[in-house]
Amino acid sequence: MIHGKKVVVVLPAYNAAKTLEKTYKEIDFNVVDDVILVDDNSKDNTVEVAKQIGINHILKHDRNYGYGGNQKTCYNYALKIGADIVIMLHPDYQYNPKLIPSMAYLIAKDVFQVVLGSRILGDRAMINGMPVYKYIANRILTWTQNFIIWQKLSEYHTGYRAFSKEILEKLNLEANSDDFIFDNQMLCQIFYLGYEIGEISCPAKYFEEASSINFSRSSKYGLGVIGTSIKYRLNKWGILKSDIYHKPAEKRIEVIAGK
């Protein structure tokens, strides 16, 4: 715990058997109290590996619910076991687990309620292997979104995120997509409520086993980002009234096959 606050790491997993152990071994258990792995109906032996390495809480979806659907289960279960600070870490070893204490302390000391591990701060993204087209798309989408919603993040597309219990209890996550655009919708919800989002520099790794969406799905995600930004602005102006901003938080429907 940090200042009496329980720190829980959630691992939204899909076919992560090859990288899970390496990721788990770099988690600092002097700070982290519990780890939750939610397997989105993987085709490999992710669950078996999770059991072998001793992960506390292992949940398996009864079917593939998607990246956003996986996170919904992660956050709901983390709150269920009493988490005060929840850190989402991809189990594909792309993001550095050693940054968990820094992200957790910023929330525990009430500096921020949300902290992102940014691949763009420090300008090492392409040096560390980010494909050129992904870097360019990241920069264009981030600039466009900052302009539309009147914010100033270095990037909206990192999968390394830390949240306070307060934030997670307020967001209507069930109204968000089950696909990759979930991440972007979640950040817009946080800004809509008037919270600041902190960022720390996170060098990310790019290699064969690290998960990455293809060009087609990246394009769909990019269009979703623009759509999400416009809807945010229209809601702020009172022209739209979207559920993700105006309906109260709902509890996750149980979708687990086993623990």
Pick the residue with more confidence: 187 or 259? Answer: 187
Percent of residues, the chain, with pLDDT higher than 90: 79
The residue extents of the domains of the chain are: 7-258
User: Are the C-beta atoms of 32 and 7 separated by less than 8 Å?
Assistant: yes
**For the segment 184-234, what is each residue's pLDDT rounded down to a tens digit?**
999 999 999 999 999 999 987 766 655 566 667 788 999 999 999 999 999
28's CB contacts (< 8 A; 6+ apart) are 97, 98, 100, 101
Percent of residues, the chain, with pLDDT higher than 70: 90
| SS3 assignment, position 246 | helix
pLDDT band at 137 (very low <50, low <70, confident <90, very high): confident
Note if the pTM is more than 0.95.
Answer: no
Q: Which region among 16-20, 152-156, 245-249 has the lowest average model confidence (pLDDT)?
A: 245-249
**For the segment 25-75, what is each residue's pLDDT rounded down to a tens digit?**
999 999 999 999 999 999 999 999 999 999 989 999 999 999 999 999 999
Q: Which of 34, 181, 9 is nearest to 91 (CA)?
A: 9
| SS3 assignment, position 36 | strand
What is the rounded average pLDDT of the residues 136-152?
94
pLDDT at 251 over 80: no
Q: Which region among 13-17, 127-131, 196-200 has the lowest average model confidence (pLDDT)?
A: 127-131
Give pLDDT, residue 252. 73
CA 164/CA 181 separation, integer angstroms: 21
Q: Which of 125, 137, 120, 121 is nearest to 214 (CA)?
A: 137
Q: Which of 193, 176, 1 is nearest to 113 (CA)?
A: 193
pLDDT band at 103 (very low <50, low <70, confident <90, very high): very high
Identity of the residue numbered 93: Y
* Ordered DSSP codes for 166-185: HHHHHS-GGGS-SSTTHHHH
219 C-beta neighbours (distance < 10 Å), count: 12
Domain topology for 7-258:
Spore Coat Polysaccharide Biosynthesis Protein SpsA; Chain A (3.90.550)
